[in-house]
Structure 1
Amino acid sequence: MIKRNKLREYVSWYLLLLIPLVGTLVFNVYPLIQTVMDSFENMKGMFIGLVNYQILWEDDTFRQSVVNTLYMAVLGVCFNVPIAFVIATMLNSVPVAKNVYKVVFLLPMIMSMITVATLFKYLMMPGEEGVLNFLLEKIGLGPFNFLNDPATSRESLIVMVVWKGMGYNIILFFAGLQAVQRELYEAAKIDGANEWKQWLYITIPSMKSSFTFVIITSAIAALKRFTDVYAISGETGNPAGSLNTIMLYVYRNSFSTLNYKDLGKASSASVVLFIIILLITLLNFKLTGSDNTETRLPRRRRRSLK
């Protein structure tokens, strides 16, 4: 009787897992396999081997999209993650109204990317029509053609994306800071550690899993960016292709009316993007470590706190 009840319990568990498993297979695994298969075919569905990948290798536009994507992803993560962590640390030390601050930081994230892009287009318009240029001219700087100049368009887009997405990372870091054991700080105080050393030797090492998650999710989101680029530059990726990303390249070869559609080339570009994301994720796990073991304060480190 007991075995039968356990069997029913196991069956119910597996039935509950069946729904997300089927969803993953249908909406994630199958499209990935189909994309890989399409990357080896031409528009007529004939197998052509690695021809599409050779075309990508020789395509200056695709190489430019890879460089732009990696540049904006690396720069965006390098700005987003440290700033979000510092703000989360400051928020964690605020004695009152923490929930109010969290809501304020989350407001940009709630806004749609199209709304944010439209807002920043008006803020960064050239001449006195743009709010930012108007203010810069009042202090003797500018005007700058932020979004229409290849020298500043990518950096301007990064500022917009960091502003919108930082709130999510702040909340993640804040949750991680709340989980750090208070006993570690008390032991460090007894050993004579000041707040700076507590932050350096306790807080940061204890946040390793949070850093891993935030860096990976931020990098993946940055590598797959499309909506913000499309809203600012349209299908072309102008000015001078400086905003041309891999996802925009895939879109142009799949759905755009500006050029000849080539699903095989678009699928090949998607596979290349998938490989880049996979390699960056594995590299991040290798560099930061993927274990979630409890952070301890070794004797050698405790001596360094004194």
Structure 2
Amino acid sequence: MTLEPRRGVSLYQRYRRGLFITAFLAAPVTLYLIYVISPNLQAFYIAMTDWRGVTATPAFIGLDNFQRLLGDSVFWKAVTHNVALLVLLPVVTIVIALFFAFLLNLGGRQGVSGIRGSTFYRVVFFFPQVLAVTIVAVLFQQVFRPDGSGMLNGPLMALGLEPVGFLSDPDVAFWSVLGVLVWQAVGFYVVLFSAGLAGIPRDMFEAAQIDGANRITLFFRVTLPLLWDTVQVAWVYLGILAMDVFAIVWVMTDQQGGPDWSTTVMAAEIYRNAFEYFRFGYASALGVVMFLFTVGFAILSLRLSRRERIEY
């Protein structure tokens, strides 16, 4: 009887493979620990000190900064605006993006093909993503100008109507910021959902039409369930965007979060406390709260939107 050599990977080969993977990952993991994990851990420590950015050994004050947050009215306004954005920005953006993606990919005469010129429209929708955030903010400062040179107020004044204080009226400023964020984000998700629709076999849409499905039924019973994983990812990304709207708020709005703190968000208050008031300990406490909000939102969204995967 002859003995055959044992099949599979030998211990030496496994060792070499593990050594190669370790060597390959050593540099990026080290850089990640130094430049990402370490600063975040330091922020947790600084949040429990009274550091003002100049002393080498700040005094440890425990949870005093977090207790101070509870009585800070500006902080609660910022939290309110971030929570509103967490709800409104993903909902509005995804609804609009799904509508346009469905129209571009399944809006043809037969209902299973895109409309004429759909590629051109995708480029147009995606164009805001090419612009830097600061450019978008400066652009909409001019659009929302309260005088006759404003793109929106100019026609209103020409018709004899009163100009609208898009950025100067506390009741309107937040909604102006939300509109800009939706305008900037929706094009990317139109392209993302279009890519998801392109991966769905057209036979499924044709079969649904043969069974008598109209456009609305086709969207809610076929398109949306098959795109659910993509929608879930988009929801999380937009939620993270809603927590990180510093540039738009700081550059575009009056008083970097005004008027009367009507557009301020947590990121703006972190910057203000750190680099205007030099309260780095307090700013770090704000950063910790913002971190917990972001992680909590991501976990909650993934939990609530979890459903059985549809294979096709």
What TM-score bracket applies, with the shorter chain setting the length? 0.7 to 0.9
Q: 1:275 aligns with which of 283, 292, 300?
A: 292
In structure 2, the partner of 1:60 is: 73
Contact 1:77–1:218 at 8 Å: present in 2 too? yes
Show the 5 A alignment for 1:234-253. Answer: 236-253=256-273
Contact 1:52–1:264 at 8 Å: present in 2 too? yes
* Superposed CA offset, 1:128-151 (max 9, x none): 121211122345544111111101
In structure 1, the partner of 2:174 is: 154
Q: 2:105 aligns with which of 77, 92, 96?
A: 92
Distance 1:283 1:140, change over 3 A: farther
In structure 2, the partner of 1:24 is: 32
The amino acid of 1:164's aligned partner reads Q
Show the 5 A alignment for 1:108-187. Answer: 108-139=128-159, 141-187=161-207
In structure 2, the partner of 1:106 is: 126
Contact 1:127–1:134 at 8 Å: present in 2 too? yes
CA RMSD of aligned residues (A): 2.2
Distance 1:82 1:41, change over 3 A: same
Task: Give the secondary structure class of the aligned counterpart of 2:148.
Answer: helix
Does residue 294 (structure 1) correspond to residue 302 (structure 2)? The answer is no
Q: How many residues align?
A: 292
Query: Distance between the aligned counterparts of 1:249 and 1:48, measured in 2?
Result: 21
Query: Distance between the aligned counterparts of 1:17 and 1:46, measured in 2?
Result: 38
Task: Give the secondary structure class of the aligned counterpart of 2:96.
Answer: helix
In structure 2, the partner of 1:36 is: 44
| TM-score relative to the length of structure 1 | 0.87
In structure 2, the partner of 1:299 is: none
| Higher Rg of the two aligned structures | 2
Query: Distance between the aligned counterparts of 1:178 and 1:92, measured in 2?
Result: 8
- Report how far residue 186 of structure 1 moved: 3.9
* Superposed CA offset, 1:138-195 (max 9, x none): 4554411111110111111111121112111111111111222334334434433333
- Report how far residue 53 of structure 1 moved: 0.3
Does residue 285 (structure 1) correspond to residue 302 (structure 2)? The answer is yes
**Which ranges in structure 2 are unaligned for 5 or more consecutive residues?**
1-7, 52-56, 107-113
Contact 1:133–1:143 at 8 Å: present in 2 too? yes
Task: Give the secondary structure class of the aligned counterpart of 1:277.
Answer: helix
Query: Distance between the aligned counterparts of 1:6 and 1:96, measured in 2?
Result: 55
* Superposed CA offset, 1:208-227 (max 9, x none): 11111111111111111100
**Which ranges in structure 1 are unaligned for 5 or more consecutive residues?**
297-306
Query: Distance between the aligned counterparts of 2:199 and 2:31, measured in 1?
Result: 32
Contact 2:48–2:60 at 8 Å: present in 1 too? yes
Query: Distance between the aligned counterparts of 2:174 and 2:155, measured in 1?
Result: 21
Deviates further, 182-191 or 158-167: 182-191
Task: Give the secondary structure class of the aligned counterpart of 2:152.
Answer: helix
Contact 2:249–2:256 at 8 Å: present in 1 too? no
Same amino acid, percent of matched pairs: 28
Contact 2:168–2:254 at 8 Å: present in 1 too? no
Contact 1:236–1:244 at 8 Å: present in 2 too? yes
